[in-house]
Amino acid sequence: MSLKTELQAELDALKAAGTYKRLNYLESPQGARVRMEGRGEVIVLSSNNYLGLANEPEVVQAGIHALEQYGAGTASVRFICGTFALHRDLETALARFVGTEASLSFVSAWNANEALTPTITREGDFVVSDALNHASIIDSVRLAKSITKCTTAVYKHSDMDDLREKLRGAKDAKRKIIWTDGVFSMEGSIAKLPEILQIAREHDAIVVMDDSHATGVLGKTGRGTAEHFGVMGEVDIITSTLGKALGGAAGGFIAGPAALCDMMTQRSRPQLFSNALPPTVAASSLAAVEFTEAHPELVTKLHDNAAYFRAAIQEAGFHPLPGETPIVPIIVGETALAITVSEMLLDRGVFVTGFGFPVVPQGQARVRCQVSAAHTREDLDAVISAFKEVGKLVGLIS
């Protein structure tokens, strides 16, 4: 069989299993409401545009201005001739925002994570990772293991006893690294950061936290999980994305000690062998950071909207997973039902994605609602009435 025939058979199997992903094409900027090809205007309840900055005029203008000032891109990797002054400005702002000495930008958070673990581990080191960590962390740890021969383990999701046990089992390791998401994207739950920091101290380990769903989201001023718990400055290394709350274009970063960022510049393969962020993206991201710093009320609005939506959906009879983040997952059970519910909601002008097995455990398929500061109360009320209607039709509520 040819490659093409084999791949087509696999795709057909995905379609038969109901796990094939159909892309929806948008014809307008990301926002509380978007125009979807073939559908018209829909309310978006599935975006990581937490602060609504993706189409904020200051953010867009900064990108246009940088395109004119710097042109399309770097045409080189950073250490050759591919670093603009703009990259330093962005990295200074990001470090200030998350409260670290320095930061280094990458073309994605995926890239930042993948760069990190293999660069900071050697043979004899030990990496322990939460079971529900993002795929980019999982791949990063696997890569480190195969390149540097460090040893690795996975602890049960947010299970602090298991984390302690795994660290006890590696007490002779040289460098010990605890890797966690700040916010777990499928659950909308927050890492038990104060306990993790305490355990790290007890075991002489360092803490690396991916705050992609928390940057711009958690804490009074959006500085992330550490601000939420009042432990700014205590996490050894933070990674995060520029593709969510901070403008939503693309890009990611590593934040921590200046020596770490310098070493990433010297040694990490994505820095050495791949171009930097395009100026448009770097400038929009920088404007997004500055906008967030200047408008903490946007973060307050996000928190208010999330609390309002959580209360209203519970009031309507649904049982979302408990939590405090703008990610509000509603468990429906079987994968097929999650897909049906999201299709029925889309018919009613609400765009929210259903997630099933194998992204989440069997029987725990869900529609994952994500609230934004861009939503008005009218948007959220319209969403709630669509949910009520669909919930009754499929028997999720009475």
Active site residues: 185, 213, 244
Give the separation between CA 261 and CA 220, rounded to whole angstroms. Answer: 27
Number of residues in contact with ligand PLP, rule: CB under 6 A? 13
Q: Confirm or reject binding of residue 179 to ligand PLP (CB under 6 A).
A: no
Q: Confirm or reject binding of residue 121 to ligand PLP (CB under 6 A).
A: no
Q: Confirm or reject binding of residue 278 to ligand PLP (CB under 6 A).
A: no
376: phi then psi, degrees, rounded to nearest 5: -90, 170
Q: Confirm or reject binding of residue 368 to ligand PLP (CB under 6 A).
A: no
Nearer to ligand PLP, 111 or 305 (CB): 111
Give the separation between CA 260 and CA 120, rounded to whole angstroms. Answer: 9
Q: Which of 213, 228, 368, 375 binds ligand PLP (CB under 6 A)?
A: 213
Instruction: State which of positions 279-298 bind ligand PLP (CB under 6 A).
Output: none
Instruction: State which of positions 227-266 bind ligand PLP (CB under 6 A).
Output: 241, 243, 252
Nearer to ligand PLP, 173 or 281 (CB): 281
Q: Confirm or reject binding of residue 74 to ligand PLP (CB under 6 A).
A: no
List, as one string, the DSSP characters of 226-239.
Answer: HHHHT-TT--SEEE
Using the contact rule CB under 6 A, the part of the chain among 144-152, 209-217, 286-294, 357-365 near ligand PLP is 209-217
To the nearest whole angstrom, how small is the minimum distance from the Cβ of residue 213 to ligand PLP? Answer: 5
Q: Which of 210, 227, 236, 379 binds ligand PLP (CB under 6 A)?
A: 210
Helix (H) / strand (E) containing 35: strand 33-36
Q: Confirm or reject binding of residue 108 to ligand PLP (CB under 6 A).
A: yes
- List helix spans (H) across the chain: 3-17, 57-70, 85-98, 109-120, 135-148, 160-168, 193-202, 225-229, 258-267, 269-273, 279-294, 296-315, 335-347, 377-393
Residue 206 contacts residue 216 (beta carbons within 8 Å)? no
Q: Confirm or reject binding of residue 185 to ligand PLP (CB under 6 A).
A: yes
Cα 133–chain centre separation: 11
To the nearest whole angstrom, how small is the minimum distance from the Cβ of residue 73 to ligand PLP? Answer: 18
Cα 220–chain centre separation: 19
- Read off the tokens for 57: 């005029």
To the nearest whole angstrom, how small is the minimum distance from the Cβ of residue 242 to ligand PLP? Answer: 7
Q: Confirm or reject binding of residue 109 to ligand PLP (CB under 6 A).
A: yes
Using the contact rule CB under 6 A, the part of the chain among 57-65, 144-152, 156-164, 206-214 near ligand PLP is 206-214
Which of 211, 375, 228 lies closest to 304, judged by CA?
A: 375
> Distances in Å between the alpha carbon of 134 and those of 138, 156, 157?
7, 14, 12
Give the separation between CA 50 and CA 304, rounded to whole angstroms. Answer: 12
Nearer to ligand PLP, 103 or 170 (CB): 103
To the nearest whole angstrom, how small is the minimum distance from the Cβ of residue 251 to ligand PLP? Answer: 6
To the nearest whole angstrom, how small is the minimum distance from the Cβ of residue 182 to ligand PLP? Answer: 8
Q: Which of 136, 180, 189, 370 binds ligand PLP (CB under 6 A)?
A: 136
Give the separation between CA 269 and CA 182, rounded to whole angstroms. Answer: 25
List residues binding ligand PLP (CB under 6 A): 108-110, 134, 136, 181, 185, 210, 212-213, 241, 243, 252
